[in-house]
Structure 1
């Protein structure tokens, strides 16, 4: 029974680490989070969180920081203290140093940040071609000035859970595209598509463009 409980403790502690890692990936890559979760770097990051939680449980038991009496209260205390404690320590910094315009945490947080940045680069490289092809095909023959007026608002209203901060950040980026005089309407339309894709995802963007195509196309309906 004790062995079974220890095995269950490891499994549940690892599950806490997995849940935290997955939630971070889902929040970090909001456009297509489940696609990202299928990539090796993202899976590796989630696994690191699970291993950190298990390692914390090993230390808790090895140094007897929490008495393992075998009852349910002791069991749950060990599991949650190890799982949540590992996540807190893993994201903590002993001190913060300002380097240039950036605050850099010294400690376990620095390792986690480096790992996340490597995940970012790997995921971006893996998805860049796919995203570029999708946007260029979808936004082909779209008039930027027409799309600017209605497409962002349509996408924002389609997402009921988009925060006010995220909406404001999106609006600022789109206004910057509007004020850009260095690119033609084709390039600006593609950039608009990429900007919206990062927030609303492929399904919402495709649906919005398809529904509004007659109103935002470079060509009038029925004309090539």
Structure 2
């Protein structure tokens, strides 16, 4: 029975540890060793052991036949105790069509997680503010490159985290009441929460050691097409003076002879005009 209890405790503790590590990715060891983290793991382990004791005392076989070997029954009981206790602890009951948070065993776990989060946040804040890992950088110039380096360090990047980073970058850019150093500190604290202090420190060092990009040469302006000369407008001839107080209107250029309108009567071969049709009149 001791071995079964140890196995059940191992399953419950592994579930609690995995949840803590996923919640505090930048400092998983500190989260586990904190008082809130240890209490969280202990609650999961205790629930698994108590569930195994209750299942064994009740003699539940979970529908297995009597011919089933005892070792197989023990494995099933250990698995049900470890996984079932985790499911029961995270059960939440809320009224239908209600926006209020539900009640149930999950309230206990949420309270313990808040204790662990508060304790770890205080430690993390003191550690981050004790040194300036982003010295020599500028938010306006380096925040995009710093975020790209930190995000590519992670194998998989959550879409929600990317959207939150984008919203924070836009908000900090529009803030006029903060200096560039203040914006850089806020940006660094947010990146530290994602990748950790050591990864952010290495990324900042990489950016500081990288030579600044040379200014790009100005591109040659394309040759503009020469506009075609505008057609000269005809100038009106000036008035010609004739005598004192008399002005003769300008002489008009000779009118071009319009082409003669063809007659409705075509000359015949005999010299007489011949009417072609009635519709031509």
Report the TM-score when normalising by structure 2.
Answer: 0.68
Structure with greater contact order relative to length (CA < 8 Å, sep ≥ 6): 1
RMSD: 2.4
Name the CA distance, whole Å, in 1 between partners of 2:142 and 2:211: 5
- What is the correspondence of 1:59-98 to structure 2 with a 5 Å cutoff? 59-66=54-61, 71-95=70-94
- One of 143, 153, 156 as aligned partner of 1:158: 153
Does residue 130 in structure 1 map to residue 143 in structure 2? no
Question: Judging changes above 3 Å, is the alpha-carbon distance between structure 1 residues 179 and 19 closer, same or farther for their aligned structure 2 residues?
Answer: same
1:74-102 deviations in whole A, cap 9, x for unaligned?
Answer: 01111010110000000001225899xx7
Q: Does 158-167 or 188-197 show the bigger shift?
A: 158-167
Q: State the match for 2:204 in structure 1.
A: 209
Paired positions, count: 208
Task: Kindly report structure 1 stretches of 4+ aligned residues shifted beyond 6 Å.
Answer: 67-70
Report the TM-score when normalising by structure 1.
Answer: 0.84
Which segments of 5 or more consecutive residues in structure 2 lack a partner in the other structure? 213-281
Does residue 29 in structure 1 map to residue 24 in structure 2? yes
CA contact 2:39–2:112 (8 Å) conserved in 1: no
Name the CA distance, whole Å, in 2 between partners of 1:142 and 1:211: 11
Name the CA distance, whole Å, in 2 between partners of 1:31 and 1:213: 23
Name the CA distance, whole Å, in 2 between partners of 1:36 and 1:216: 38
Name the CA distance, whole Å, in 2 between partners of 1:7 and 1:51: 14
Residue 139 of structure 1 aligns to a residue whose secondary structure is coil
- One of 82, 104, 113 as aligned partner of 2:101: 104
Q: CA deviation at 1:73?
A: 1.1
Name the CA distance, whole Å, in 2 between partners of 1:208 and 1:97: 48
* Higher helix residue share: 1
Name the CA distance, whole Å, in 1 between partners of 2:111 and 2:97: 16
Question: Judging changes above 3 Å, is the alpha-carbon distance between structure 1 residues 95 and 166 closer, same or farther for their aligned structure 2 residues?
Answer: same
Q: CA deviation at 1:34?
A: 2.2
Name the CA distance, whole Å, in 2 between partners of 1:98 and 1:122: 35
Q: State the match for 1:42 in structure 2.
A: 37
Residue 80 of structure 2 aligns to a residue whose secondary structure is helix
